[in-house]
Amino acid sequence: MTDELAVMGIECFGHHGVFDFERREGQIFVIDLVLGLDTTPAASTDDLRETVHYGILVDSVKAAVETDPVDLIETLAQRIANVCLLDDRVEWARVTVHKPDAPIDATFSDVALTITRKRTLQP
């Protein structure tokens, strides 16, 4: 059984996109995270060291979004998932990258990509 820790609506400013103006001007990206982990150790000890420190995680995710521009939100989502999986307690990470100001010539409310990545077993 896995518990789920969610941090939703993390606003970041990044310079990602395939168009020059996206790279130059930047835009808001909104990140949602859901992490699968066992929270039993933290619950039984009431010790922050026994779980994911979501304040530190958010800082790391913001840094991942706000540096090193890429073309695709697919690449950005994978980068964020990798950050989440750095903590050995995280069994899987579901990452949604929202790009509400995507350059689309139509009325729309959001563009979002959700990926789920699992920890790979090391031989």
- Give the model confidence (pLDDT) of 16-42 as tens digits: 999 999 999 999 999 999 999 999 999
pTM, whole model, 2 decimals? 0.94
Two tokens, residue 101? 């100001």
List C-alpha distances in Å: 102 to 20, 21, 26, 54: 13, 11, 11, 28
Two tokens, residue 40? 């039993």
Domain limits, the chain: 3-118
Instruction: Return the CATH number of the domain spanning residue range 3-118.
Output: 3.30.1130.10
The Cα 36–Cα 31 span in angstroms is 16
Per-residue pLDDT at 122 exceeds 70: no
The Cα 42–Cα 98 span in angstroms is 31
99: annotated active-site residue? yes
Provide the 3-class DSSP secondary structure of residue 122.
coil
Point out the catalytic residue in the list 34, 99, 114, 119.
99
